[in-house]
Structure 1
Amino acid sequence: MTNDPWRPPSTPISDRDSRQRAYNRQDRVSHMHRSPTRMGRLIAFLVGIALLMVGLSLAFPVGSAADPHFVRALIILVIFGGTAAFWSRSSLWRLARFAGVWILLILGVASFYLYRSDFSGRFMAALDPSAAMTTDEGLLVHRSRDGHFWLRAELNGVSVRMMVDTGASNVVLSPDDAERVGINNGILNFDGRAETANGSVRFARAQVETFGVGSAVLNDVPVTINSAEMRGSLLGLSVLNRFSSFEFRGDTLILRP
């Protein structure tokens, strides 16, 4: 058979061209299979957002859904999170794990922010149980390990650790604490006498200009100074009654200004 001079010469198909065509066909097939997977990721993300909103509303029901900042944050999360979930090539299981970690972090930060005063009070109580913590409910004093309520007061600007004693009618200072707050024991007249569990003791009367407990500051508070050594000074009813109320609730003393 003679060759047609007007027919262009046939060129053999190279291996490179065949591989390129096969890759193009495989890419089209994989793209067709990936599209439903992306849609499934988007649906899973939206379901996760709905569950997150339900969980937040149950955990923090006090008007959180009506907060404009809360709504704005959810909108931003839906936009960027949905885009990332739709275009990500990671598996659904891997996306779910990352989403779970972020949800736990968000809930942890939100819980700490909402209850930061309670966390701070417990932390400071562990460091110094005698420190009075200022809260919305009042001044909180935690029970010490010895079973008593000790608090740290500021008498004339000097810190004094005192035991709360509802059986004492006045503030009773030990001789050492009286000297520390500026009361000269040498010029006091110990003409008073009181009966205690340890017997009869003499005491003197004096006054401190400022008496601070937590954020509460009292002025011109009368005190008595014991003539004998004491384990610690006592905070009695003369100061407790200056608060609007005080309450012993379990291991916590609540002083309401």
Structure 2
Amino acid sequence: MSSIQFGSLFYLVMLAVFIGGTLVVSYRGRRGTMFQHAAIWGLILLGTVAAIGLWGDIRHTVVPVQRVQNGVIEVPRSNDGHYYLTAEINGTPIRMIVDTGATDMVLRHEDAEKAGIDLNGLRYFGSAKTANGAVRIAPVTLDSVTLGPVTDEGFRAFVSEGEMPGSLMGMTYLQQFSRMSFENGALVLER
């Protein structure tokens, strides 16, 4: 144990002794109340640790998700200001960022692999301009793209060679909807 670690441990022990001593003196003659308050604070601490540990699972249940009603797809705006939708690419659900500034649908490597695209057979001869600079892209033809009640077959998309925060749903796909609007904080798509 280094001297810094020993010093930190000594400090924490002294702090615990001081706080413990203060509590014992202030609760003198009221042990039941002291144990009750200690139990309450212990449960608060335990609940906080559990919430931090489970935050990833909690966040996915709290985050707004897309809805389909009467053939209309509503995609709520996320807390970060983006619209995220889940489309089935070749039968596999892929979470995508709606990007009205992107021309094409662009899949990141991980999502293309999940959708069953052979990454070894791709030829990166195109390029796309992104916020992070130019990246090479490879054209692919997707067997199917399903979004809500709509399925398109033989859809042309691209796989990015560079790192991306998520796959992009660009305008070539979105323009296939007869209506695309932003209403009450949601992207509304209808064919």
Give the SS at the match of 1:178: helix
Give the 4+ runs in structure 1 shifted more than 3 A.
125-128
Quick check: which one's strand share is greater? 2
For the residue of structure 1 that corresponds to 2:101, the secondary structure is coil
Deviation at 1:229, TM superposition (A): 1.6
Query: What amino acid sits opposite 2:85 in the alignment?
Result: L
Deviations 1:108-131 (A, max 9, x none): xxxxxxxxxxxxxxxxx965524x
Match of 2:130 in 1: 196
Q: Quick check: 1:129–1:150 contact (8 Å CA) kept in 2?
A: no
Which structure has the highest helix share of the two? Answer: 1
- The TM-score with structure 1 as length reference comes to 0.49
Q: Secondary structure at the match of 2:164?
A: coil
Matched, 1:129 2:129: no
Q: Which runs of 5+ in 1 are unaligned?
A: 1-124
Residue 121 of structure 2 aligns with which residue? Answer: 187
Pairwise mapping of residues 147-186 of structure 1 onto structure 2 (< 5 A)?
A: 147-186=81-120
- 2:87 and 2:71 map into 1 onto residues whose CA distance is 19
| Residue pairs, 1:1-257, within 5 angstroms | 127=62, 129-130=64-65, 132-136=66-70, 138-257=72-191
Q: Which runs of 5+ in 2 are unaligned?
A: 1-59
Q: Name the CA distance, whole Å, in 2 between partners of 1:228 and 1:178.
A: 13
Question: How has the CA–CA distance of structure 1 residues 160 and 136 changed in structure 2, closer, same or farther, with 3 Å as cutoff?
Answer: same
Deviation at 1:220, TM superposition (A): 1.2
| CA RMSD, Structure 1 to Structure 2 (Å) | 1.7
TM-score in terms of structure 2 length: 0.65
In our comparison, the structure showing a higher alpha carbon Rg is: 1
- Tell me which residue corresponds to 1:105: none
- 1:210 and 1:219 in contact (8 A); partners too: yes
